[in-house]
Amino acid sequence: MDIVVENLVKSYGLQRAVDNISFRVRTGEVLGFLGPNGAGKTTTMKAITTFLVPDSGNIHVGNYSIHEDPEKLKKNIGYLPENNPLYEDMPVIDYLKFVANLHGIPKQEIHGSLLNVIDLCGLEAEKHKKIGELSKGYKQRVGLAQALIHKPEVLILDEPTTGLDPNQIVEIRELIKKIGKEKTVILSSHILAEVEATCDRILIINKGKIVADGTTQDLRNQASGKTILKARILGGNLDSIFAALQKIDGVKVVDFINKDQNRFYLDGDQSKNLAEGVFNACVKNGWILTELIPVETKLEDIFKELTMESPVKN
């Protein structure tokens, strides 16, 4: 079931939280929602789940619109809100049964659905405890379990791994990936490594606008637009190597990383093959190329670059 967000606008007073954003998430895709605090991620997610009514724009989940068929749309969504609100006075199993009933799961299937989701989220030992007595990690699992119990076509997870220990984080990431193969998943996170590890596509939002949209590789290219290489070249005079590197087609900056070790830094145009140029220069001059390392732009750097300068792409 695809999610289509069209020209979504939502303001809180004078502040425009979401500013005319549009995007599409396809079935079998895990979309990572990134952005600084107050960027509009949660607002967008709340609008998709129909909890917030946008000022303008529309959202379709499958064939259902948030304006025309909110009830049908809600049946197909599993939602884990930010801060994971839960009825702390209820035992885990009663709470999950309550949610299953609300989703209209037939009576004869409820037991099976409960066992399945309890097993999936590792809640077997805690199922009779009151939610208020659980640790933060287990509460998060209960939150996930309630989002998954009706086997929704679409999963909206607002910071799903908050409060989990490293082992649990890995488990939940694997679970999301598994679910994401067949369903549509949107997840938000502040942990960039998590988004990189879990998501097929990343959407960065800043001040209510989309500033980047694509795979991790797309974002790297889009954000930097340049290739950075580290090279170590032996067997020649430092100055002549330096001069030869500068002459390579596409090279903009050449610098020393370590003069004593003949290590160079090259920064150039992404459309040109700098590595080939370095190799050819070494062959031509009879130098020995002992190291040639492409430097990848970190996702953190891309995020910082995009959300600090806030160029607008829509």
Partner 1 sequence: MKQIWIITKRELQAYFDSLMAYILLILFLGFSGFFTWIYGNDIFFIKQATLMPFFNIAYWTLFFFIPALTMRLLSEENRMGTIELLLTKPVSNWQVLMGKYVASLLLIATALLLTFSYPISVSTMGNLDAGEVFSGYLALLLFSSMMIGIGLFTSSIGNNQIVSYLLALFIGIFFQIIFGMLGQSLPGIPGHVLDYLSTSTHFESMTRGVLDTRDILFFAGISFLMLVFSESMLIRKRFA
Residue 117 CA to residue 119 CA, distance in Å, equals: 5
Nearest to partner 1 of 104, 286 (CB atom): 104
Q: Compute the distance between CA of residue 250 and CA of residue 266 in angstroms, rounded to an integer.
A: 10
Query: Looking at 23-31, 43-51, 240-248, 280-288, which segment touches partner 1 (CB under 8 A)?
Result: 43-51
Per the CB < 8 A criterion, the answer to whether 108 and 116 are in contact is no
- Using CB under 8 A as the binding rule, whether residue 254 contacts partner 1 is answered as no
Nearer to partner 1, 69 or 301 (CB): 69
Q: Considering beta carbons, is residue 146 or 262 the nearer one to partner 1? A: 146
**Residues 58 and 22: beta-carbon distance below 8 Å:** no
C-alpha 112/C-alpha 24 separation (Å) is 33
Which residues 97-116 are close enough to bind partner 1 by CB under 8 A?
98-99, 101-104
Among 28, 38, 85, 225, binds partner 1 (CB under 8 A): 85
Give Cα separations from 239 to 233, 244, 309 (angstroms): 12, 9, 37
Least distance from C-beta 263 to partner 1, angstroms? Answer: 54
Beta bridge partners of 61: 3, 64
Q: Binder to partner 1 among 14, 71, 107, 271 (CB under 8 A)?
A: 71
Cβ 73 to partner 1, closest distance in Å? 9
310: contact with partner 1 by CB under 8 A: no
Give phi and psi for 104, each to the nearest 5. 75, 25
Report the residue from 39, 61, 77, 251 that binds partner 1 according to the rule CB under 8 A. Answer: 77
Rg (CA), the chain: 25
Of 190, 161, 143, nearest to 38 by C-alpha is 190
- Burial tier of 187 (Cβ tally within 10 Å: 0-12, 13-18, 19+): buried
Nearest distance in Å: CB 208, partner 1 = 16
In the list 68, 88, 165, 174, the residue contacting partner 1 (rule: CB under 8 A) is 88
Name the minimum Å distance from CB 83 to partner 1: 6
Contacting residues toward partner 1, per CB under 8 A: 12, 46, 49-53, 71-72, 74-75, 77, 79, 81, 83, 85-90, 94, 98-99, 101-104, 146
